[in-house]
Structure 1
Amino acid sequence: MKIIITGGGTGGHIYPGISLAQEFKRRDGSNEIIFVGAEHKMEAEIIPREGFRFYGLRVKGIERKFSLANLSSLWLFLSSLITSYRIIKKFKPDVVIGTGGYVSGPVALLASLMGIPTFIQEQNLIPGITNQFLSLTVRKVLASFPESQKYFWRKNRVVFFGNPVRENTWQGNRANLIKKTKLSLNKKTILVFGGSKGASAINQTLLTSLKLIDKALWMQWQVLIVSGKEDYFNLKEEAVHSEYKGQVEVMDYLHQIGDAYDLADLVVCRAGATTVAEITAKGLAAILIPYPYATGNHQLYNARFLEANRAAVVITEEDLTDEKLARELVKLMSDQERLSAMAQNSKKLGKRGAARDIVEGIYDSIQSKTFS
Structure 2
Amino acid sequence: MNRYFVSISAWTIVFASILFLSGCAYFNTMYNAQKKFEEAEREVEAPPQQTEPGRPLPQGTVQPRPVPIEKYRKVIETSAKLLENYPKSRWVDDALLLMGISYYRINDLARAERKFSELTTLFPNSPHITTALIWKARVLSEQKRSEEAIELLREGTGKMKSGTRKADALFLLGNLYYDLKKWGDAAEQFHLSLQQKQRGEQRYTALYRYGLSLYNSGKHAEARDALSASAKASNSIAQAYDAYVYWSRCELALQNPAQAEAILLRVRSSERFLDYTDDIELELANLALETGRVNDAMTLYQNYIAEHETGEGRGLAFYRLASIQRYHQVNLTLAKSLLDSVIRCGASREIADSARMAIDQISKGLLALEN
Larger radius of gyration: 2
The alignment's TM-score, normalised by the length of structure 2, stands at 0.26
Q: TM-score, normalised by structure 1?
A: 0.26
User: Which structure's residues are more often helix, by fraction?
Assistant: 2
State the structure with bigger RCO (CA 8 A, min sep 6), 1 or 2: 1
